[in-house]
Amino acid sequence: MEYKFNIKPIELTDIRLYGNEKYNSNNHRNKPNNYEYILEQSHTDKWIDLFKPQYKKLSIYNQEHIKLIKLANKVGGIFVKVLRNIIYNV
């Protein structure tokens, strides 16, 4: 199977003007027949063994735990930004 790609630069002003309406690949109307299959092949579970032969998998099914993890991630991100500002502005 042979794929052809057309790569060309895009002006930042054009991206800001048209945003996702023009450049979001999910908005293409005529997807190839094997689009979903190719997309599925990019999922981590298809390639992680090649890069990390030993890894641990953690499954969380409790929705309340997932909400807490997301909140902790958000708070942690804010905390890191505050620390960076303090460090770089001292």
Question: How do residues 16-68 score in pLDDT, each as one tens digit?
Answer: 888 777 776 665 667 778 888 888 888 888 788 888 888 887 888 999 988 98
With a CB cutoff of 8 Å and minimum separation 6, the contacts of 38 are 32
Q: Tokens representing 65?
A: 């735990």
Cβ atoms of 58 and 66 closer than 8 Å: no
Q: What is the pTM of this model?
A: 0.36
Q: Tokens representing 2?
A: 């042979």
With a CB cutoff of 8 Å and minimum separation 6, the contacts of 75 are none
Cβ atoms of 15 and 23 closer than 8 Å: yes
